[in-house]
Structure 1
Amino acid sequence: MRGVPGARPAAAYAASGRRALRVTLVAAAGFYLFRYGFERPVAATYALFTVVALGGLSRIPGTGRQRAEVVLRLLPVCWVLVIVGTYLSVRTWSAVVGMLVVGFTLAFAAVGGPRLAGAAPGLQLLYILPSFPPYDPGSLGDRLIGTTTGAVLFIAAEALLFREPGQPSYRERTARAALTAERCAAGLAAPPHALTEADVRGAREAGQALRPSNVPEAERPAGPGMHDRALAHTGLAARTLLNRLAQLSAEPEPEPGPETAPGTAVGPGQDTAPGVAVGPGQETAPGVAVGRRWETEPAVTAVLRAVARLAVATATCLRAGAPLVTEQNALAEARARLFDVSAGPASTQARGSRPAGATAPGFPPVVLRRHAAVLEIADAALAMGAAADLAIRGRHASVELPVGRFWYATSRAPVLWWHRMRGHAGRRSVFFQNAVRMALALTAVRLVAGVDTLPHGFWAMLATLTLTRTTLGETWSTIRLALAGTLAGALVSAGILILVGPDTAVYAVLLPVWMLSAFTVGPVRGVGWAQGLFTVLVALVFAQLAQPTWRLAEARILDVLVGSAIGVVFGVLAWPRGAHDEMRHAGAELLRRSAEIVVATSAAVAGGATVAVQSGVPGHRSLERAVVLAESAYAQLQSEPPPLGGRTPGARLPPVMDWQATLIAGHHTLWGSARLLEPPCAALGPAAAESAGALGDRVAGRMLLVSAALDPGQDTPATPVPLIDPALASFAAESPGAPRRYYATVAWLHSLMADLTRIAHADRASEAGAPGPDGR
């Protein structure tokens, strides 16, 4: 039964009551139509249990229309399951083998995203139902008629009755984030070249809205297809862009200083930029100015304005599918011009944009760091635009994609599905663990039921299906409550059967009333209430299909005991852990690989090495693989079903980490390293080289600290390792492009530190119900 975690009691009962009313109306209509209208009890049974499976046992997220769409697509699967289950049930060995294969397949299908994960338990029930007596392939027609009628009525009820308000889709949330980025970029490009507190707060809120923990389960782009992957990439890039814009606005204000010679620094914190006078009658040489006037550089403001235009185009693309290639190319050109201006003659002569021998303006440290920050903003915006175009237009995308960053863009859907399944075909995958656990448990119950002729063995398998959890502690707690509820329900059932006897009219009147109560109260009050109420419900159903006896309640208790015991055994044997620990492992590995890239890139920058972007620094491919695995684990975490019947009262929820920030750090390491190694690669002098190498080592050390702390059972350190920036005042003896390359490295490492701080504070921020230090 679907729980309503986190809702207030009145709201929870209202939401549960609406679902219960839909299920009750449809299940009762199908059951009574075939049982009393056409005297076809088999069709009546399948019509009722199809609705119970799809509407009660399944946890398909989303609105009624979204659930109806999912069930409509799964209707052919329902037919196949009923047919296969009917023919395999005639022999115990074939039924056992079929249960093993089908049970594993349906449970492992959860790799397809939250909707398939939510539908899997209901589909399991549709296969279990025909796997038990009567073993009558001749009744297959009635079984299919009942299944189809129940599914069609359920689809109509979900789509038409008690419509629920829809939540903003992930596309809409990302579009809003892009428009927020547009306002921030436009504010930084125009006087007074700073963001207001409202702008910064809006950027933080927009980024927070893209965290999966704040996105409805049905709207999370966690599927294996290209569109879902690209949409998730768009949200990640949008969060990165918003964070970088807020960081740029938060840079300290340098103090104005006296007149200087072209391109020289005045002193600590006193920098120059082109074309601004120092004071009355004191005009600087061309390309020099004092104070915070770097924003007046045409190249810088051109990039920020191009970012703003691309952000608007991205929002339009996400909402209406409009192309954005013009804005994407414009930003790429503006970024190239700023790179040339910041790099000086070594770059501009190489690109042919400045005559050989011409003098390029020199920039002081603070300006160079600003240039590097704006280049990072441009890269994030370009990634966001490319991902949005790919997410909406697919193979018809017109934006040129960076090499390696969108590896999935050229793969067909079957290949991406195979990639997802192969990535989870191992013992560390929670999907694989759950599939093996569930398949073995259901197979064992079917074997026991077939060999020992367990009465109503269907109920034992239903108990295994609904009570087995992903952790041993939760399984044991759930089973204790379920057994108590089942015992209470069995006593009530026995009393009703003894008092009413064979009068089916009384059971027919009680059934819809009790069904409405069971599906309303059970999901809110927890598994104990759900099992107790459902025990009485099945007694009322079977009392109308065969001669009722109080031993029906006794059989129900026995079946739940057997199913629960087998569920506990296989819960112990098959990796009793949840997805959260696996995500910690993948995130820790990602940060370890990122630390290797940081050290290698810093060493390459310090030595002035030229490394082709395609080949990358040593370990580049290992980091790419770690990013892919972490993204798969992230999708797995988003798709892992919540406990059936809601959270067990008193159970401690695991802390909600900002795992998206971990992915941001991995992606940022990849594209930042590629940007720093773009030719020409000017060599640094001894002092700058030593500084760049030391800064890289410190950031890599911080990555390793956070990586170690992500291992299960440890706390994440909250205090970041501070950067030590010597802010070298003179690069007179260096190569012409050395200052730009050095301060671009410093800006990259500084941004990575911000990413790590966000990860480190995520646990504490989520527990306190507040955003992290940067609002994420």
Structure 2
Amino acid sequence: MSRWRPAISDPGLFGLRNAARAALVMPAVFAFAHFVVDDPQTTLFAAFGSFAVLVFADFGGTPRQRLEAYGALALAGTVLIALGTLCSRTTWAATAAMAAIGFAILFAGIVNGWLAAGATAALLTFVLPVSLPADVAEIAPRLLGWGIACLAGTAAQLVLWPRRPRDALRDQLADAARALAAQVAAPTPEREAAAATAVRELERRFLSTPYRPAGPTATAAALAYLVDELAWLAALDAQPLPGAGAPDASADDRALLGAAARTLHTAADALDEPHRASRRRALHDGLAALDAARDELTKRLPERSQAAAAAGETALQQTVAEAFRHTAVARAAADVGRAALVAAGESPPRLAEAGRAAERLAADHASARSVWFRNSVRGAVALALAVLVAHETGVQEGFWVVLGTLSVLRSNALGTGATIVGALVGTALGIVAGAAIVLAIGTSGPALWACLPPAVLLAAYAPRAISFPAGQAGFTVLLLVLFNLLRPVGWEVGLVRIEDVALGFSVSLLVGLLLWPRGAGALLRATLGDAYARGADHVRAGLHALTAPAGAADGALAAAERAAEGSGRRLDDALRQYLSERGGDHAGPADVAALAAGAASVRRTARSLAALVPDGDDSPLLEQGARALSDDVRAVHDWYEGLGRALAAGEDAPALPARDGSAQEHVLRCASQAVAARDTGATAAAFALLWASLHLDDLRRLERRLRAPAEAFAR
């Protein structure tokens, strides 16, 4: 019979290196504070502060970016420790401050992935002082302990095993870009299948992470944007192209698609090695060549169209359709390249621009329609209630109550309950193991100090590589060793811990039952519905901007785009939480992901429509074409808006009326006349309308792909 072994998941052993770093540094910091500074408050805050910096906070990026992130955490912790100490003497002040600070820290994660990654460490710097009542005179010793922890912890993070694990999302973005480059350069069924597989794996990876990509706001936004852009490009390039790849394909088409493929390749290289300037220079060169090829095709399109028109309207339609699809592929490749430059850290936004972006993100999520807002409110209420309970009950170690609450609170009541069971089991096992250690070696002397590094190693490694209950067991062992080193009290401190954390667990369960107990399940329907409705509005606004007088519709188009992008971000967060929650009646993940991808395609189509607005004077053809296409625009808009309502209500999607081909025929005749008359302005207007009509065709094809997952989601 094989012996049981715990399942350990730690690819590359990066988790073990992080834990070993903490096991080396935290005991040294604790010993320095204990023996050299010899102040209980300094020692306590040095111990927990170093654990926060070394274990709870794990920032990625370049060494400079990481130094800035740890520096920001140190500064924030300084303010929070002082504020927490000031509020700790009064129950109502401690409770109110915990609610406000807890919400601010948790909600700030929506603005920047680094703020989300550092939230637990930042919360600890407030939870610890506000839960342990102290006079103002204790602020200085507490800050000294925190300062020692930050200096030692930051230095260790940057010097001791500083190599970071490769970003799996970046790797898969690069893989998808290369697969699409191969497909664009020389399409074959095998390459099409490989590109589709790479994009599916990319989307799966993106949705499997609890947060959006971490890092500076612009870099994180670029990585998220690249996922949508590559998915759009995959769907676009998989559509049949009249005459694409034929031996008589024009030199302009071959040059454009070749430049698009090279741009995708160099974008993949920049994503692989974002810190190499040569990769970014090559991408700049590729983008310049792609823009030149696209300009050349656009300049020669009227001449090609005249030759095609001479052969009849069908030949003209094929020529325009080919140019539309090739130009759309090239534009998408250019967008991928520019986003890859931002993702590589180029052209960081100025402070004012970053502030406006953060303000827009916060505004998008400042309502109960956002799971991030709900989670922040739930977390703030739970933490405040835990502080109230700790103060009113007079428990011996009040911060254990608050930490217990924080450790098990989840996004729905079922998940919270299941986590509590695991936490209780882990805590009980940790008490048994810690008590055995204390009983075996006593409460003082070198033996207990020798147990501290292994205890830190277990507490830091177990939750990452083994399981949450194992992490709770390891943390409990660490606390028993630490507190017996601070003041020898024996194994009975374990009983105090289990009583205190049980209070905290009860607070989490109560809050989970009272505040949105069903989690993201119900909200996902509403956010899906809103994403389709706002996407449909964006499409309509794009068509209106195409035909309105120059500049007249810019404000409405910008407002529609902001609303659509905001709804898309809320949907992204709701979907992540939905897929990660325990239990409940869940629709198939593939169906839900397909519907979310469909909403992203609608938004991307709207952006492409907005880019069609021709330069120069307004042409009467635009107004005539708008009237011809108005019925089709209305039908498509109303269907996607109706789909949104159906998804929100759990009903079957409505039917999309068949298209009346007379509108496209009318626009095609206008284009033929404009080409024959060699009217440059009218030709540009006609081509814009024809391409808009082809975008509406794309949305109709998307409707057919969405019907099956929509029906499955409604059941």
Instruction: Determine if the TM-score, normalized by the shorter chain, exceeds 0.5.
Output: yes
**Contact between 1:444 and 1:566, CA under 8 Å: does it hold in 2?**
yes
Q: Deviations over 1:379-413 (max 9, x none)?
A: 434544555566678779xxxxxxxxxxx999622
Aligned with 2:118: secondary structure?
helix
Aligned with 2:249: secondary structure?
helix
**Contact between 2:305 and 2:319, CA under 8 Å: does it hold in 1?**
no
Cα distance change on mapping 1:599 and 1:22 into 2, 3 Å: closer
Report deviation, 1:539. Answer: 1.8
Report deviation, 1:456. Answer: 0.8
Residue of structure 1 in register with 2:166 after alignment: 167
Aligned with 1:295: secondary structure?
coil
Residue of structure 2 in register with 1:370 after alignment: 322
Report deviation, 1:545. Answer: 1.3
| d(CA) in 1 for partners of 2:391, 2:205 | 44
Amino acid at match of 1:632: R
Report deviation, 1:317. Answer: 7.5
Report deviation, 1:722. Answer: 11
Q: What pairs up with 1:479-518 in 2 under 5 angstroms? A: 479-493=420-434, 502-518=443-459
Report deviation, 1:252. Answer: 6.5
Residue of structure 1 in register with 2:604 after alignment: 667
Amino acid at match of 2:670: S
Matched, 1:327 2:289: yes
Cα distance change on mapping 1:8 and 1:664 into 2, 3 Å: farther
Scaled by the length of structure 1, the TM-score of the pair is: 0.73
Amino acid at match of 2:233: L
Residue of structure 2 in register with 1:304 after alignment: 257
**Contact between 1:300 and 1:338, CA under 8 Å: does it hold in 2?**
no
**Contact between 2:612 and 2:688, CA under 8 Å: does it hold in 1?**
no
Matched, 1:122 2:76: no
Report deviation, 1:110. Answer: 1.0
Matched, 1:539 2:502: no
Cα distance change on mapping 1:548 and 1:213 into 2, 3 Å: same
- Choose from 708, 725, 735 the match for 2:670: 735
| d(CA) in 1 for partners of 2:61, 2:579 | 14
Aligned with 1:74: secondary structure?
helix
Amino acid at match of 1:50: G
**Contact between 2:232 and 2:601, CA under 8 Å: does it hold in 1?**
yes
**Contact between 2:181 and 2:260, CA under 8 Å: does it hold in 1?**
yes
Aligned with 1:675: secondary structure?
coil
**Contact between 1:114 and 1:222, CA under 8 Å: does it hold in 2?**
yes
Q: Deviations over 1:480-519 (max 9, x none)?
A: 2222333443455556556665445443233333332333
| d(CA) in 1 for partners of 2:109, 2:578 | 9
Amino acid at match of 1:513: P
Bigger radius of gyration = 1
Residue of structure 1 in register with 2:698 after alignment: 751
Residue of structure 1 in register with 2:249 after alignment: 295
Cα distance change on mapping 1:712 and 1:22 into 2, 3 Å: farther
Residue of structure 2 in register with 1:268 after alignment: none
Aligned with 2:369: secondary structure?
coil
Matched, 1:521 2:483: no
Amino acid at match of 1:662: A
Amino acid at match of 1:243: A
Bigger shift: residues 562-571 or 65-74? 65-74
Aligned with 2:89: secondary structure?
coil
Matched, 1:465 2:406: yes
Residue of structure 1 in register with 2:100 after alignment: 101
Residue of structure 1 in register with 2:676 after alignment: none
Aligned with 1:474: secondary structure?
helix
Residue of structure 2 in register with 1:380 after alignment: 332
Matched, 1:416 2:378: no
Amino acid at match of 2:154: I
Amino acid at match of 2:249: E
Cα distance change on mapping 1:448 and 1:50 into 2, 3 Å: same
Matched, 1:655 2:589: yes
Report deviation, 1:121. Answer: 1.2
Aligned with 2:462: secondary structure?
helix
- Choose from 542, 558, 565 the match for 2:499: 558
**Contact between 1:85 and 1:131, CA under 8 Å: does it hold in 2?**
yes
Unaligned runs of 5+ in 2: 1-5, 674-685
Q: What pairs up with 1:14-93 in 2 under 5 angstroms? A: 14-36=13-35, 39-58=38-57, 70-93=69-92
Cα distance change on mapping 1:758 and 1:26 into 2, 3 Å: farther
Residue of structure 1 in register with 2:141 after alignment: 142
Q: Deviations over 1:253-272 (max 9, x none)?
A: 79xxxxxxxxxxxxxxxxxx
Cα distance change on mapping 1:423 and 1:704 into 2, 3 Å: closer
Aligned with 1:470: secondary structure?
coil
Bigger shift: residues 460-469 or 141-150? 141-150
Cα distance change on mapping 1:63 and 1:371 into 2, 3 Å: closer
Q: Tell me the percent identity.
A: 24
Amino acid at match of 2:526: H
Report deviation, 1:460. Answer: 0.2
**Contact between 1:89 and 1:131, CA under 8 Å: does it hold in 2?**
yes
Quote the RMSD (CA, aligned, Å): 4.9
| d(CA) in 1 for partners of 2:448, 2:342 | 57
Cα distance change on mapping 1:292 and 1:49 into 2, 3 Å: closer
Q: What pairs up with 1:397-476 in 2 under 5 angstroms? A: 412-476=353-417
**Contact between 1:331 and 1:382, CA under 8 Å: does it hold in 2?**
no
Unaligned runs of 5+ in 1: 1-6, 188-194, 255-290, 349-357, 397-407, 766-776
Report deviation, 1:135. Answer: 1.2
Residue of structure 1 in register with 2:680 after alignment: none
Cα distance change on mapping 1:308 and 1:456 into 2, 3 Å: closer
Matched, 1:623 2:560: yes
Bigger shift: residues 413-422 or 32-41? 32-41
Scaled by the length of structure 2, the TM-score of the pair is: 0.78
Amino acid at match of 1:109: A
| d(CA) in 1 for partners of 2:103, 2:484 | 33
Amino acid at match of 1:748: H
| d(CA) in 2 for partners of 1:45, 1:477 | 31
| d(CA) in 2 for partners of 1:97, 1:725 | 62
Cα distance change on mapping 1:58 and 1:204 into 2, 3 Å: same
Cα distance change on mapping 1:593 and 1:536 into 2, 3 Å: closer
Structure having the larger proportion of residues in helix = 2
Matched, 1:199 2:191: yes
Residue of structure 2 in register with 1:269 after alignment: none
**Contact between 1:698 and 1:721, CA under 8 Å: does it hold in 2?**
yes
**Contact between 1:595 and 1:704, CA under 8 Å: does it hold in 2?**
yes
| d(CA) in 2 for partners of 1:372, 1:303 | 12
Instruction: Give the length in aligned residue pairs.
Output: 681
Residue of structure 1 in register with 2:205 after alignment: 213
Cα distance change on mapping 1:751 and 1:411 into 2, 3 Å: farther
| d(CA) in 1 for partners of 2:663, 2:459 | 72
Cα distance change on mapping 1:528 and 1:651 into 2, 3 Å: farther
Bigger shift: residues 90-99 or 557-566? 90-99
**Contact between 2:95 and 2:388, CA under 8 Å: does it hold in 1?**
yes
**Contact between 2:439 and 2:491, CA under 8 Å: does it hold in 1?**
yes
Amino acid at match of 2:155: A
**Contact between 1:442 and 1:465, CA under 8 Å: does it hold in 2?**
yes
| d(CA) in 1 for partners of 2:212, 2:161 | 24
Report deviation, 1:753. Answer: 4.4
| d(CA) in 1 for partners of 2:334, 2:460 | 49
